[in-house]
Amino acid sequence: MDPVTNAGGSAVHSHRISTVVPGQVTPGNLVHELSGADLAMKLHYLKGVYYFPASETVEGLSVPIMKVTMFPWLDICFPAAGRIRRDGGGRPYIQCNDAGVRILEAWTDLSAEVARPAGD
């Protein structure tokens, strides 16, 4: 059996998806125009994986606690909670609609060393 999968066929289990929105409503119809530098980068979503092995350091740290700290941050950086759209001419912009930041929680019984893809 591959060390990255368990008997059920997946090393990752107990998925949960949620959304964190700004703590205050963003005034209606706000649009964030993307700069030339923004457009030079690929239009994509930021993806990150944070691995927290059980230890005293992270004892008491939970995803709900991390989410609560995001509310005031998204009040200040509200374009991060928007969605990329295109205008009539095809130019991308961010519709600041408080759609939120997607959070995916999942659990694994593997260590970070075993779960990490080769070359990362």
Summarize pLDDT for 31-79 with one digit per residue, the tens: 999 998 888 877 666 677 777 777 787 788 888 888 999 999 999 999 9
Cα–Cα distances (Å) from 120 to 60, 90, 95, 115, 116, in that order, read 29, 35, 33, 11, 7
pTM equals 0.68
pLDDT recorded at residue 68: 92
Specify whether domain 14-108 bears CATH 3.30.565.10: no
Domain segments of the chain as ranges: 14-108
Write down the pLDDT at residue 4. 46
